[in-house]
Amino acid sequence: MAVTSFKYATQSDLTNYFNRVNDFSSKRQIFSPVTNSNLHQFHNCGLVEVLFINGNEVTASENADEPNANGEWRYIEGEDVLQYYDDTLTSTTVNNQIFEAGKDFQTFMDQQLVNASMELNNLLDAKYPTPLPKNTQISEAASSGLTIEYDAIVVKATCYICASNLIRSKDPTSEEADYYYSLVTNAELTGITDRLNKGEWKLSFEVDNKDSQGSIRKITQAGTMQLVETAGEYHGEPYDLLRITCTTGGAYGTAKCKVEYYGGDKLFGSETTNNIVSGTLDGWGGLGGVRVRFQGASMTADDQWEIPVVSEARKISNSSTGTINLSRKGKTF
């Protein structure tokens, strides 16, 4: 069993992608106790890490010595025997109880998600850091108010691996288990990790050839004018967060904005003002080479947008691979 408790997904996430979670439990019933006075012994019962009686976990810790008080128990690995002490049970009534060994459901499922998360790390290309970092996802909220989280496809892949492992624990040759695992990786290289490794899909923390243009995040908007497009390439800090705020409301030619950008050793430490909204791709000061285009009838004061950008000189971390046709003297190979 892995020592780490790290996992990319929760049990709630797992239920979203695999609704038969409750069909799987680690508990198994143990039978045929032999009673000697008040000590009830189960021989050849298999490993017992947690003991349950009638569905309830025995709260007393496992004893190091032979149990001699009600509720005490121990498992002797060398003899493969479980000992349980209870002076209220006889050799007859002890058989009316349901004794089970295993783990409680939440602990068991958490461990399965840990195992699946570690397996996902193994399937990802060496270009990825492990564990994968959390990042802010697309949201209409200020950057300071965003909660970092794992990408949805990371959560999904973890749940699919976990579902496959759970099914295989009961049916090693299950086609359903194969199906869930094929959603993550397969011979045709169309699974989640296959596409990530090839650079066809991008995780939110990665840098691709479009990140120098930035991505638009609406913070507040009371007017009807929206920031709809960015163009060009950002030349500046390896990372910056550009903030555009309307200072004068109105239509094209009237509306004005200020741009806040990195300066004074902090984000939003510098600004340019009185930038006129024209409706074309405006190249204002402070945008570092990025151009912005607004569309709509009118902007309202304090409407605000943010644009996370990375320098065009920053190394692309998810370049994709592809194929080309080679030719020589007009012949295609």
Per residue in 310-331, pLDDT tens?
887 665 555 555 554 555 555 5
- Residue 167 falls within a domain, yes or no? yes
Judge whether 253 lies within some domain: yes
Q: Tell me whether residue 225 is in a domain.
A: yes
pLDDT of residue 217: 86
Q: What is the pLDDT of residue 331?
A: 55
DSSP 243: E
d(CA 208, CA 31): 60
Inside any domain, residue 205: no
Q: What is the pLDDT of residue 213?
A: 61
Final residue before a domain boundary, out of 70, 101, 132: 101
Tell me: do 125 and 55 sit in the same domain: no
For CA atoms 182, 198, 310, 253, give the dihedral sign.
negative
Q: What is the pLDDT of residue 204?
A: 82
State the residue range of the domain holding 177: 106-198
Strand partners, 220: 304
Domain final position from 42, 69, 101: 101
Distances (CA, A) of 84 to 26, 34, 140: 20, 10, 58
Do the domain assignments include residue 18? no
State whether 49 and 121 are in the same domain.
no
Q: What's residue 206's pLDDT?
A: 79
Residue 326 lies inside a defined structural domain of this protein: no
Residue 93 and residue 114 in one domain: no
Q: Are residues 125 and 83 in the same domain?
A: no
Does 241 share its domain with 300? Answer: yes
Q: How far is CA 97 from CA 25, 31, 54, in A?
A: 19, 10, 6
Shared domain for 175 and 220, answered yes or no, is: no
Q: What pLDDT shows up at residue 196? A: 94
Give me the count of residues in the chain: 333
Say yes or no: 236 and 168 in one domain. Answer: no
* Tens of pLDDT, residue by residue, the chain (333 residues): 457 899 999 999 999 999 999 999 889 999 999 999 999 999 999 999 999 999 999 987 778 899 999 999 999 999 999 999 999 999 999 999 999 998 889 999 999 999 999 999 999 998 888 899 988 766 555 555 567 899 999 999 999 999 999 999 999 999 999 999 999 999 999 999 999 999 899 888 776 655 556 678 888 999 999 999 898 888 889 989 999 999 999 999 999 999 999 999 999 999 999 999 999 999 999 999 999 999 999 999 999 999 888 887 665 555 555 554 555 555 555
Residue 45 maps to a domain: yes
Q: Is the domain of 97 the same as that of 124?
A: no
DSSP code of residue 58 = -
Residue closest to 102 by CA, chosen among 88, 82, 126: 82
What total number of domains does the chain contain?
3
* Inside any domain, residue 223: yes
**Same domain flag for 39 and 95:** yes
pLDDT of residue 144: 54
In this structure, the answer to whether residues 114 and 170 fall within a common structural domain is yes
Task: Tell whether omega for the bond before 131 is within 30 degrees of 0, i.e. cis.
Answer: yes
